[in-house]
Every structure is written in C-alpha cells, then in structure tokens.
Amino acid sequence: MKVFDVIINALFPNKCIACGSIINRDEFLCDYCYGKIERMDYFKACKRCGLPKKLCECKNRVFHFSGVTAPFYSGDIAKAAMYRFKFNKLSFCSRFFAYEMAKAIKNTYFDICFDGIVYVPMSTIKKLKRGFNQSEELAKGLSKILGIKLYKDVLVAKHKPEQQHNMSLKERFKNVKGIYSFNKKVTGKTILLVDDIKTTGATIDECAKQLLLAGANDVYCVTGLLTKPKERKKMNGS
C-alpha cells in the first residue's frame, strides 16, 4: 500500500454502510452484513408484486405496473444502509444501491427493452428540506450503469404525503391518491420506474397509473428494498 493510501485510510476509514465497522476501501459492507443481508431470490419471487410467491399479494388486486424487482428485502441490514443514504445523502450508499438494483434489473427484466427511466418525485418542500430526492439519485446511478436515458421531471408530487407507517394497506393506497401527476408525455414508451422502498406498492402504483395516463406502453418498477407484509408497520415508505 502506498504511503498516501495509508494516510487516507487512517484519516478517512471506509465504513460498512449498514453497521459502520471499518472495512477495505473497495467494499460497501463488512463480511457479517454481507452474509446476513436478505437478498431477493428471483426464482422464488412473484414477478408482479416482488414478494416471495407464498406471500404474493396480486390476487384480487389490479396494479398499474407490470412488475417489481429489488435486490433486497427490508431486513435490519438493508434498512440501515437505506436509511443512512436517505437521511445523509451518502454518495457511496447511492452507488451501492444503484449497482445492486442494476443487477436485479438484469436478472428480472432481461427480456425487456426500456426506453427511459423515471423516478418517483418528491414535493418541492420536502426536497428543499432534505436537499435531494433519493429516488432521483438512484435513477441517475442506474441510468449511468445501464445506459438507459433518464427522463427528468416526468412526474411531479403535488404535496407531501402523510407519514404512512401506521396506516393499513387500504389507507396507504387512499393516502397517495391525487398526489402525483405527469408533466410530460411518454407516449409509447416502456418505462423503468425507480423508488427507494416498496412497502405496500401504493406509491409506485399511483405513479405507474400517471405514466400510463401520460401514454406509457408499460411500466416496470425497481426499488432498493422491498418490504414483506409483517415488517410494514416499521416502515415509512409506501
């Protein structure tokens, strides 16, 4: 190791994005977190709702999107990494999730040719407060990795959704109604919709609906994490 690298490592040690323990410079997770993080098994997951087939929620429900994929289910490790990214805008967390989401897309949507990437928008007030929209950051990363065009500002959020973690599934779907609208047409396009977390799917469903109204041919979703039904109460996403 060069002297310069030794000094940099001593001054700015690279830390596991989930637990904060010190790791090698080119890694994102420590060995423990890497082994424990709950990855989606693409063969055992429902292609539509993304949940393990035995927990599938597609029955008796009509979604506006054609599929959901994600690299991880929201166990403690993946959640800790996502929250670090969401609340601190750590660019290496964004790189980690974008890289893992790109792998999920290649595994799940290998036969689909996307025209463009759209992200779930954030209301202006919320974006000003936080300083960035995490879904937009992930979409930018994915656009670079996958070489798919980023369609900016296609969707807009009218106002801030209420915190949804205590709401039932029905209430969450009702809560996001009318919040999103489209700004631009995407006629005839096959869209990859990006969000940070899928909880019930209410947000991405409402956004997919708007994209179809804007003329999209088809909408497929990718999120950083996907929440299983029993963990929903603990999550803020929708």
Here's the x/- map for Zn ion, 25-44, by CB under 5 A: it reads as -----x--x-----------
Stretch that binds Zn ion, among 16-24, 80-88, 91-99, 227-235 (CB under 5 A): 16-24
Closest to Zn ion by CB, 56 or 146: 56
103 contributes a contact to Zn ion by CB under 5 A: no
Q: Report, in Å, the least distance between residue 71 CB and Zn ion.
A: 16
* Footprint on residues 47-76 left by Zn ion (CB under 5 A): 48-49, 56, 58
Q: Which residue has the tokens 């980690």?
A: 96
Closest distance to Zn ion from the beta carbon of 113 (Å): 23
Q: Rounding to the nearest 10 degrees, give the CA dihedral for residues 113, 116, 117, 121.
A: -140
- How many chain residues touch Zn ion (CB under 5 A)? 10
**β strands within the chain, DSSP E:** 67-69, 72-73, 116-119, 155-157, 180-182, 190-198, 218-226
Q: At what angle do helices 134-146 and 91-108 cross, to 10 degrees?
A: 60
Q: Which CB sits closer to Zn ion, 56 or 212?
A: 56
The least CB distance from residue 236 to Zn ion, in Å, is 22
Give the count of beta carbons closer than 10 Å to the beta carbon of residue 202.
24
Residue 19 binds Zn ion (CB under 5 A):
yes
What distance in Å separates the CA atoms of residue 186 and residue 189, rounded to the nearest whole number? 6
Verify binding: residue 146, Zn ion, rule CB under 5 A. Answer: no
* CA separation for the pair 210, 230 (Å, rounded): 29
Among 46, 145, 169, 212, binds Zn ion (CB under 5 A): 46
Q: State yes or no: residue 18 binds Zn ion (CB under 5 A).
A: yes
Q: Closest approach of Cβ 135 to Zn ion, in Å?
A: 22
The answer to whether the Cα torsion of 36, 40, 43, 44 is positive or negative is: positive
Closest separation between CB of residue 23 and Zn ion, Å?
Answer: 7
* Binding flag, residue 179, Zn ion (CB under 5 A): no
Distances (CA, A) of 108 to 58, 62, 66, 204: 18, 21, 12, 18
* Distance separating alpha carbons of residues 119 and 94, to the nearest angstrom: 14
Give the binding site for Zn ion (CB under 5 A): 16, 18-19, 30, 33, 46, 48-49, 56, 58
